Amino acid sequence: MPMTLDDLRPNPGAKTDKTRVGRGHGSGKGKTAGRGTKGQKARSGPGVGRGFEGGQLPIQKRMPYKRGFVNIFKTRWELVNLASLADLELDGPITPEVLHSAGIIRGLEFPVKILAKGEIGKAVVVHAHAFSGSAREQIEAAGGSATTIERTDAFTTNRPRSRRLPLDRDMKRAGVGRVGGPTRSEAFAARGARES
């Protein structure tokens, strides 16, 4: 006999009936319907929020928290140690492009800094954006040269030195808003006269 859709049944215990509370003592969930006796959470409504501890300082405020801030203008350097330079089998100078092609750095959008971890026993010519003092000494002691190249990465271009607008700085210098000071229109007129 072929099987039909009404022959399909879930596994035993996979589906259970919803507990019907407040339907008499015989059900075991009568009277207070599993809510206990009195109290805020026994009433109808939203109850208490997550993390509420009756008014005392909750645990998320008692625990130590991370202080400080995230510097959005932080320069993310590509750090290369002397040990990585010693493993390179190259005849010409070592540049960020060479390091990128060798897979030592992730890309050319970040500046490269040479650190002194490891030893280098051959004379190499290194061009990088920055060197630690001991790394430069070891490179020069081995007969090589360490040349600092100019940074042209994204962290030096279009990077504001201050979040305050130049216009606001000029208005503060002119004393706009002080008692007896010039008005905004007068400050604008004076600034236009200076620029012309």
Q: What is the pLDDT of residue 158?
A: 53
The string of pLDDT tens digits covering residues 128-148 is 999 999 999 999 998 989 999
What residues form DSSP beta bridges with 130? 113
In a domain, 117, yes or no: yes
Total length of the chain: 196
Nearest alpha-carbon partner for 193 in 169, 170, 166? 170
Q: What is the pLDDT of residue 121?
A: 83
Share of the chain above pLDDT 90, in %: 39
Mean pLDDT value across residues 34-63: 89
What is the average pLDDT score of the chain? 83
The string of pLDDT tens digits covering residues 15-43 is 999 999 999 999 999 999 999 999 888 99
Q: What is the pLDDT of residue 20?
A: 93
Rg (CA), the chain: 36
In a domain, 49, yes or no: no
In a domain, 6, yes or no: no
The Cα 126–Cα 169 span in angstroms is 43
> What is this structure's pTM?
0.47
Nearest alpha-carbon partner for 113 in 137, 141, 133, 143? 133
The Cα 137–Cα 63 span in angstroms is 46
Q: What is the pLDDT of residue 63?
A: 84
Q: What is the pLDDT of residue 106?
A: 87
What residues form DSSP beta bridges with 146? 126
Share of the chain above pLDDT 70, in %: 85
In a domain, 33, yes or no: no
Nearest alpha-carbon partner for 80 in 146, 15, 19, 22? 146
CATH assignment of the domain containing 137: 3.100.10.10
In a domain, 158, yes or no: yes
In a domain, 30, yes or no: no
Between 111 and 181, whose confidence is greater? 111
Q: What is the pLDDT of residue 16?
A: 92
The string of pLDDT tens digits covering residues 64-79 is 777 777 777 778 889 9
| Terminal alpha carbon distance of the chain | 100
> Which amino acid does the sequence have at 182?
P
Q: What is the pLDDT of residue 91?
A: 80
The Cα 84–Cα 103 span in angstroms is 11
In a domain, 181, yes or no: no
HSE of 116 in the Cβ direction (CA atoms, 13 Å)?
A: 13
Total count of domains within the chain = 1
Q: Hunting for tokens 């004393």 — which residue is that? A: 175
The Cα 183–Cα 196 span in angstroms is 20
In a domain, 20, yes or no: no
Residue-range definition of the domain harbouring residue 87? 74-176
